[in-house]
Amino acid sequence: MNFNLPHHVRNITLTKSNALLPLYEAVVNSFHAISERPGAGRIEVVVDRDRSQATLAPTGPEPIERFEVIDDGIGFTEEHLESFKTASSSKKAPVGGKGVGRFLWLKAFDRVNVISVYQDKDLFFERRFTFEADDQGVHAEPPAPTDQSAHRTVVILQGFKNPYRDSARHTLDILARKILGHCLIYFMAPRCPTVVVRDEADSISLNDIFNQEVKSRSKRRPFSVKDHTFEVSNFSVYSSGEHLIHLCADEREVNYVKLVEAMPELATGRLRDNQGRLFHIASYVTGSYLDDNVSKDRTDFGFEEEAPLWESLQKSELTGAVARVVRDDFGEEIDHVAQENMAGLRSFIEDNPEFRILNSHPEELRGIPSGGSKEKLRLELYKAKNRVRESIRALGNELLERQPDTLDESHEYESRFVSFVSELNELGKSELANYVIHRRVVLDLLRKAVRRTPTGKYQLEEAVHRLVFPLRATSDSVEFEQQNLWILDERLAFHRYLASDKPLKSVENGEFDSLKRPDLLIFNKPHAFAEDLYPIQSVVMVEFKRPMRNDYSEDENPVSQVYGYIRDIRAGKVVTYDGRPIDVKESTPFHVWVVCDLTKRARDMAEEYGFRDTPDGVGMFHLHPNFNAYIELIPFEKMVDDAEKRNRILFETLNLPS
């Protein structure tokens, strides 16, 4: 060869995912050789594995050491050998040969040995040569006459290199199907050769797989994209696999595109024919435009996912056109599986009303399979809902920025505004449903937290506290959705400042000499438009005790602890972050909840302070006139029961258990 072959081979790009591409090139060469000789018609692919590790524990099929590709085609005549030795030969240009496929052999294999019996006039000759990545390239012996009278060419791809060898560690069945998939278009021909893949243990006919598992759905159908003409052949493939568009150049596959990119409804999986058999779609696209624009190494067409394909043609335009032809051929099956999938999605949404807005956006549901785990489905629906939320927000911003200037424009604007409000209301309902479900879950968890565990013990008060409000946090650092103050009272959501389980001396809006730590300390706003803490309208405190606790000491008396908190606040020890005293007047009321079960010890201690039973007889309360404080002792079960009663109408509206 009259060029730097080692340098050329080093510069070839061959990814691990294309590890079998050199083998495919050898098989395609055999198809071409057979097409040049009338009467030819057999190709064999022999797989030779490395058995040196066979005695070890099996880890899958043994690695492949070499391939032999055998055919009865025209063989390496003088003309064909001269073409082989010429870089970028045009010998096979009429059948799409670029003259570069053989260099892929040396990228993935140490060397290639060729033995070819061919006919020259009335005599048969045998030619042998080796192809290696050195300065000479082809090491050929002179052809010799032979007694053999049958055409036979053997191409031996010897010494499979890593990482390609590891990447191509497949079973014989998988190898056979991969070769068939790459060369499927040749099997459509009326006189397709017999193709067999074998190793020392088994033999597989690709023709049998094609006849049994591949059904041509239509003959080649022409279509056009931007004045470029293509043809597509659609197949039903009765084996596991994805729906794919195979892009071909010169009658052989180059790469593929997932059909689901153009038809999201196919994300649900394989289809069923009228006999109930599962299959996937394989679409093979050909055309002069693809032939002319394939890369030299025949691995790509040089387009990015969303970039122009070539010149003004984009990949999405090509695959979109293919999808329209696919729908013509498989529309009934696609519609059937899409309807089944949509029914499954709508059933799930019915039980999960936070996603109901998606019922008005079926385009967002088309690509979401209803099968699989509920967790994965929920995640996909959340993503779809977020896309809808963003589109509604974008529409709202557009309406605000482009208000009408004329009466004619105002009619269109009004129509779009009405549509926007309708969408916004649906989104609001969905968000509200999500929040109501959140409340149902919180109450279920809360009820479990206040009951005895299987070990016979009760949860610590922290378990309940966390469900109401995060520990050691403030309202400035906690999102609204994490605050479940509604468990106690809906009005607690409208507060100026809240500190949860922080020592009083470290509360950010003030300092205390005391190390006492109320579980929740809430400063309420004086009115809706207040900007600071003056004057304080009311102070709310919440204290949690362990469920069913009956061992309070005098120092742990929950009532005396509460009075201690109030004394510290009324004593003026609290200051704002800028050092000014917080204005707690004599008239400022305190509302205190002590969440504790009224065991005998707790009830006795409360009665000593003058507490009385609430009207329902479940809790106890006391109004302290000197402190202007209302203190209520509320058992855990009562707290949960009251919260459920307040939310019952919301749960029933969504058909949730109440």
Locate the domains of the chain by residue range. 5-212, 217-340, 352-435, 461-649
- Name the residue with higher pLDDT: 524 or 546: 546
pLDDT given at position 98: 46
For the chain, the distance separating the N- and C-terminal CA atoms, rounded to the nearest angstrom, is 84
**pLDDT category, 531, cuts 50, 70, 90?**
very low
- The per-residue pLDDT for 226 is 85
- Helices (H), ranges, 198-255: 206-213
φ/ψ of residue 388, rounded to 5: -65, -45
- Three-state DSSP class for 48? strand
Residue 58 pLDDT exceeds 70: no
Residue-wise pLDDT for 596-624, tens only, equals 889 999 999 999 999 999 998 899 999 99
Cα pseudo-dihedral 369, 267, 354, 435, rounded to 10: 100
In the predicted model, is pLDDT for residue 268 greater than 90? Answer: no
- pLDDT category of residue 355 using cuts at 50, 70 and 90: confident
Distance CA(467)–CA(486), nearest Å, equals: 11
Considering the domain delimited by 461-649, tell me its CATH architecture.
3-Layer(aba) Sandwich (3.40)
> Is residue 513 very low, low, confident or very high in pLDDT (cuts 50, 70, 90)?
very low
What pLDDT, on the 0 to 100 scale, is given for residue 109? Answer: 95
Q: Evaluate whether 406 touches 414 at the Cβ level (below 8 Å).
A: no
Domain 217-340 classification at class level: alpha beta
Is the model's pLDDT at 96 over the cut of 60?
no
Three state DSSP letters for 332-401: HHHHHHHHHHHHHHHHHHHHCHHHHHHHHCHHHHCCCCCCCCHHHHHHHHHHHHHHHHHHHHHHHHHHHH
- Determine which of 16-25, 399-408, 643-652 has the lowest per-residue pLDDT on average: 399-408
Q: Read off the pLDDT of each residue in 258-275 and give the average, rounded to a whole number.
A: 83
pTM of full prediction above 0.85: no
The average pLDDT across 352-375 equals 79
Indicate whether 116 pLDDT > 90.
yes
Work out the average pLDDT over 79-106: 69
Alpha-carbon distance of 454 to 56, in angstroms, equals: 50
What's the average model confidence in pLDDT over 389-409? 65
Task: Out of 118-122, 197-201, 281-285, 422-426, pick the least confident.
Answer: 422-426
Q: 412 pLDDT exceeds 90?
A: no
How large is the average pLDDT for residues 414-419?
A: 62
539-544 and 590-595 as β-strands: parallel, antiparallel, unpaired? parallel
Instruction: Categorize the per-residue pLDDT at 260 as very low, low, confident or very high, splitting at 50, 70 and 90.
Output: confident
Q: Does residue 346 have a pLDDT over 90?
A: no
Return the minimum-mean-pLDDT range out of 45-59, 345-359, 432-446, 576-590.
576-590
Mean pLDDT of the chain: 80
Q: What is the pLDDT of residue 261?
A: 84
Average pLDDT over residues 443-459: 74
Question: Quick one: pLDDT band at residue 498, thresholds 50, 70, 90?
Answer: low
- To 5 degrees, how large is the angle CA 517–CA 566–CA 599? 70
User: Residue 195 forms beta bridges with which residues?
Assistant: 43
Helix (H) or strand (E) holding 153: strand 152-160
User: When comparing pLDDT for 536 and 378, which is higher?
Assistant: 378
pLDDT bin (cut points 50, 70, 90) of residue 515 is very low
Instruction: Flag whether pLDDT at 167 surpasses 70.
Output: yes
Predicted local confidence at residue 420, as pLDDT = 58
Residue-wise pLDDT tens digits, 459-479: 666 777 777 776 666 655 555
Lowest-pLDDT choice from 135-149, 431-445, 512-526: 512-526
CA distances from 277 to 215, 218, 288 (A): 12, 18, 35
Strands 123-132 and 109-120: antiparallel
Ranked by mean pLDDT, the top range of 83-92, 325-334, 440-449, 462-471 is: 325-334
**pLDDT band at residue 526 using 50, 70 and 90 as cut-offs:** very low
Does the domain formed by 5-212 have CATH 3.30.565.10? yes
Q: How confident is the model at residue 482 (pLDDT cuts 50, 70, 90)?
A: low
Residues 426-448 pLDDT 10s: 666 666 667 777 788 788 888 87
Can you give the pLDDT at residue 437? 75
Q: Is the distance from CB of 184 to CB of 235 less than 8 angstroms?
A: yes
* Residue 553, pLDDT score: 83
Q: How far apart are CA 528 and CA 514, in angstroms?
A: 32
pLDDT level of residue 529 (50, 70, 90 thresholds): very low
pLDDT of residue 512: 45
CB 160 within 8 A of CB 10: no
Average pLDDT over residues 151-159: 96
The span from the CA of 632 to the CA of 488, in Å, is: 12
Residue 379 near residue 356 (C-beta atoms within 8 A):
no
The residue that leads in pLDDT, 336 or 311, is 336
Please, which pLDDT band fits residue 302 given cuts at 50, 70 and 90? low
Q: Output the pLDDT for position 525.
A: 45
Average pLDDT over residues 643-657: 79
Contacts of residue 277, defined as CB under 8 A and 6 or more positions apart, other chains included, come to 238
Residue 530 is predicted with a pLDDT of: 36
Q: Does residue 66 register a pLDDT over 80?
A: yes
Residues in the chain: 658
Q: Which of 139-153, 236-250, 579-593 has the lowest mean pLDDT?
A: 579-593
- Of 56-70, 115-129, 575-589, 611-625, the range with the lowest mean pLDDT is 575-589
pLDDT of residue 91: 47
pLDDT at position 450 over 60: yes
Task: Quote the pLDDT of residue 528.
Answer: 33
Ranges 289-303, 556-570, 588-602, most confident: 588-602
Helix 172-183 × helix 21-35 angle, to 10°: 60
